[in-house]
Amino acid sequence: MLVIAAPGQGAQTPGFLAPWLDLPGFAERLAAWSDLAGIDLIASGTTAGAAEITDTAVAQPLLVAAAIAAAEALFGDLLGARTQAHVAAGHSVGELAAGAIAGVVSPGDAMRLVGVRGRSMAKAAAAEPTGMTAILGGTEDDVLAKLDEHGLTPANVNGAGQIVAAGTAGQLAALAADPPAGARLRPLSVAGAFHTTHMTPAVAALREAAADVTVSDPVMVLLSNADGAAVSSGQEWLERMVTQVSSPVRWDECMRSMSGLGVQALIELPPGGTLTGLGRRALPGVALAALKTPDSLDAARALLAEHGALEPPEPGHVPDWRLLVSPLAGTFHAGGQDAGPGTHVRPGAVLGHVEVRSGQEAVTPPFAATILEWLVEDGDPVTTGQPLVRLQPEPA
């Protein structure tokens, strides 16, 4: 069983697309998509400097275009990807590429959406100085507690000992002066505090753009950053894509789902390296290939020959549970009603509250479900995006 994975913002480097333009049709695809995304993808991927491609409005379309075009080069076309790979997943903006590969949206619509996403997130980031810092090492509990202490959000929980903190420049400076025990900090080359409430203004812009997009249900297993679950509905995927802009990325849960599916190989689309690096530590025994240049295609095709197949994974192995996460950092208090494992809950039912200084925020599922397990207890401190309860959605 094989995963095709698309990296997120921060993976780009100056000139990384230059060698790919020698492949037949590659430059033509990027030229056509440039009009849809609103930027010159060829110039951005070849001659643009580091500062230019750090711009969110440039980086995001560039990464999605590179991933989709490279998938076409690897598999012959996207139909080939859907018949030879079993699972698609993307990290952050890479989810748009994964959605196109899985047949949920057309490549053209993916490029239109990522153009809006990049511009609206860049605008939100310009409202005040914000950023992101990778925290490497330390224990997860210590890291999350330190982030909560400084008012930061764990915007990416990547597994393999890596959590990315996001917040204001002042909050990140305070973290740098007071890091978690045993951890190393690495500031990221991104222009804002992505996947936090700082990006809330971008959600409305993306939702408006998404209203004009036609979606289909995925034809392969498509994992979601929200909780690592497989999304079977194209409309649900689109809604998740919209809200994920201001919600933490749970790549650790995506890799957990890959393990549960019995994945044997993972190919990371360009600019490859980040996700295979995480997989090397969190997915032992899984064969990995990172597409950096066209010279990497032979190694990826060797994995396809060994692990690719025409048959999809058995439906019974697809994780279909959902995680309900904390909307804020505060103290969790369970609801007054008995809501233990096995309890059926209706959409909008109040399962508890997260208490903060200014009041409290209700914890409610947007769908009918059965509670599988609670991941926190009454009175526990929680951080923004922390999983609270695992739910099994009930059939519509």
How far is Cα 340 from Cα 345, in angstroms, rounded to an integer?
10
Three-class secondary structure assignment of 97-151:
HHHHHCCCCCHHHHHHHHHHHHHHHHHHHCCCCEEEEEEEECCHHHHHHHHHHCC
Cα torsion 286, 12, 67, 111: sign: positive
Quickly state the pLDDT bin for 309 (edges 50, 70, 90): low
Quote the pLDDT of residue 320: 67
Mean of the per-residue pLDDT values of the chain: 91
Q: Cis link prior to 154 (omega < 30° from 0)?
A: no
Q: What amino acid is encoded at 56 in this protein?
A: T
What does the DSSP 8-state code read for residue 152? -
Q: What amino acid is encoded at 41 in this protein?
A: L
- CB within 8 A of 158, min separation 6: which ones? 164, 249, 251, 252, 278
- Mean pLDDT check: name the lowest of 23-32, 173-182, 217-226, 326-335: 326-335
User: For 347-383, how does the pLDDT look when each residue is reduced to its tens digit (9 = 90+)?
Assistant: 888 999 999 888 888 888 878 889 988 988 899 988 7
259-264 long-range contacts, CB within 8 A, separation 24+? 259/283, 260/317, 260/319, 261/1, 261/86, 261/87, 261/221, 261/313, 261/317, 261/318, 261/319, 262/1, 262/313, 262/317, 263/1, 263/2, 263/3, 263/86, 263/87, 264/1, 264/2, 264/307
pTM, 2 dp: 0.81
Main-chain dihedrals φ then ψ at residue 61, nearest 5 degrees = -60, -35
Q: Degrees (nearest 5) of the Cα angle 131, 136, 138?
A: 120
Rg from Cα positions in the chain:
20
Residue ranges and CATH numbers for the domains of the chain are 2-125+197-317 (3.40.366.10), 130-187 (3.30.70.250), 322-393 (2.40.50.100)
Beta bridge partners of 164: 134, 156
What does the DSSP 8-state code read for residue 270? S
Hey, which residues are catalytic here? 92, 195
Residues 272, 180 contacting (CB under 8 angstroms): no
First to last CA, the chain: 30
Residues 44, 54 contacting (CB under 8 angstroms): no
Which of 391, 396, 384, 390 has the alpha carbon at shortest distance from 167?
384
Quote the pLDDT of residue 311: 53
Main-chain dihedrals φ then ψ at residue 55, nearest 5 degrees = -55, 125
pLDDT of 173 > 60? The answer is yes
pLDDT of 316 > 70? The answer is no
Quickly state the pLDDT bin for 167 (edges 50, 70, 90): very high
